[in-house]
A and B are shown apart, each in its own frame.
Chain A
Amino acid sequence: KAGVTQTPRYLIKTRGQQVTLSCSPISGHRSVSWYQQTPGQGLQFLFEYFSETQRNKGNFPGRFSGRQFSNSRSEMNVSTLELGDSALYLCASAERASTDTQYFGPGTRLTVL
């Protein structure tokens, strides 16, 4: 099976712009979670989607949003970008929710100038 794919792999944006990142989960996986990784804060949970519904949300401002489509693919959007949003954004998929193992994609490296 193909792994989790994320596009684009690299992005450079300027402050105030918005960005959309895409994630395609492993075939058959219905749960998709998003994480932000920075050197200072480590890996932090953004949100989780299961069957097109947001099940959980981390402690991030409303500028961060996401959605999931009927084929389980997911997108996350960040509006009004700030310098501090520069990070590696990781998507993870699991077969269901609960304690199923999450498999991560390669990430999207976002740089905000």
Chain B
Amino acid sequence: EDQVTQSPEALRLQEGESSSLNCSYTVSGLRGLFWYRQDPGKGPEFLFTLYSAGEEKEKERLKATLTKKESFLHITAPKPEDSATYLCAVQAGETSGSRLTFGEGTQLTVNP
């Protein structure tokens, strides 16, 4: 059974204080790892897709990296508007179609 674990559960940062969120996974045949951001009461907003170990993607203050066991979401000089829950999800196996298995998320709060 695919498992995705995110840490920490919650993270408080001061504006400008860089940090990283972790997503470790145990799957059979990773096909893709996805990062989403979710604001309260809204649907998840797509951030990145990573397909193979060593891959990196960047968008504004965010950078996602992937190894064979985990992914990191690096947040550089965060702003209060980066406050949200960040979700990691995997697609794995040959017969699972589009099915995503999600981690529990990291709730990020950035204080001004």
Contact = CB atoms under 8 A, between A and B. Distances in A.
Nearest to B30: A99
B44 interface: yes
B98 A102 contact: yes
Contacts of B105: 42
A24 B36 CA distance: 20
B55 interface: no
Contact of B98 (A33, A90, A106, A107): A33
A100 B51 CA distance: 11
B102 A98 contact: no
A103 B44 CA distance: 8
B98 A43 contact: no
Residues of A in contact with B, size category: 20 to 34
Contact of A106 (B32, B42, B103): B42
Contact of B42 (A43, A44, A48, A107): A107
A44 B96 CA distance: 14
A104 B45 contact: yes
Interface in A41-82: 42-45, 48, 50, 55-56, 58
A107 B101 CA distance: 18
Interface residues of B, number: 26
A64 to B, nearest CB: 15
Interface string A25-45: 000000101010000001111
B34 A104 contact: no
B57 interface: no
Nearest to B105: A42
Interface string A95-112: 001111111111101000
25 contacts: A31-B97, A31-B98, A33-B98, A33-B99, A42-B103, A42-B105, A43-B87, A43-B102, A45-B99, A48-B98, A50-B97, A50-B98, A56-B98, A99-B31, A99-B32, A99-B49, A99-B51, A99-B91, A101-B34, A102-B34, A103-B46, A104-B36, A104-B43, A104-B44, A106-B43
